[in-house]
Amino acid sequence: MTTITLQDVEQLVLDVRHELVEWRRYFHANPELSFQERHTSQFVYDTLASLPNLELSRPTATSVMARLKGTGPGLVLALRADMDALPIHEENTFPFASQQDGVMHACGHDGHTAMLLATAKILSQMTAQFSGEVRFLFQHAEELFPGGAKEMVEAGVLDGVHRVLGIHLWAPLQVGKIGIRTGALLAAPDRFVIRIVGAGGHAAQPHLTVDSIAVAAQVVTNLQHVVARTVDPLDAMVLSITQIHGGTADNIIPGSVELRGTVRTFTSELRAQAPLTMERVIRGVTEAHGATYEFSYENGYRAVVNDEATTERLRKILTEGFGAEVVEEGVPTMGGEDFSAYQDKVPGTFFFVGAGNEAKGIVYPHHHPRFTVDEAALPIGVKSFVLAVLGFLNECE
> Per-residue confidence of the chain (397 residues) as pLDDT tens digits?
567 999 999 999 999 999 999 999 999 999 999 999 999 999 999 999 999 999 999 999 999 999 999 999 999 999 999 999 999 999 999 999 999 999 999 999 999 999 999 999 999 999 999 999 999 999 999 999 999 999 999 999 999 999 999 999 999 999 999 999 999 999 999 999 999 999 999 999 999 999 999 999 999 999 999 999 999 999 999 999 999 999 999 999 999 999 999 999 999 999 999 999 999 999 999 999 999 999 999 999 999 999 999 999 999 999 999 999 999 999 999 999 999 999 999 999 999 999 999 999 999 999 999 999 999 999 999 999 999 999 999 875 4
**CA quadruple 18, 66, 142, 392: dihedral sign:** negative
| pLDDT of amino acid 3 | 79
- Got the DSSP string for 280-305? HHHHHHHHHTT-EEEEEEE--SPPEE
Residue ending a domain, choose from 298, 315, 335: 298
Same-domain status, 181 and 218? no
> Whole-prediction pTM value?
0.95
CATH of the domain at 375: 3.40.630.10
Same-domain status, 275 and 333? no
Same-domain status, 46 and 155? yes
Q: Is residue 1 part of a domain?
A: no
- Say which of 32, 90, 133, 142 is annotated catalytic: 142
**CA quadruple 136, 113, 124, 6: dihedral sign:** negative
- Say which of 84, 90, 211, 374 is annotated catalytic: 84
Residue ending a domain, choose from 251, 278, 298: 298
- Alpha helices by DSSP H, the chain: 6-15, 17-29, 38-49, 109-124, 148-154, 212-230, 268-288, 308-322, 340-343, 377-393
| pLDDT of amino acid 76 | 98
Is 142 a catalytic site residue? yes
Same-domain status, 118 and 209? no
Share of residues in the chain with pLDDT > 90 (%): 98
Torsion of CA 224, 242, 83, 322, to 10 degrees: -40
Is 159 a catalytic site residue? no
Same-domain status, 202 and 172? no
Range of the domain at 209: 188-298
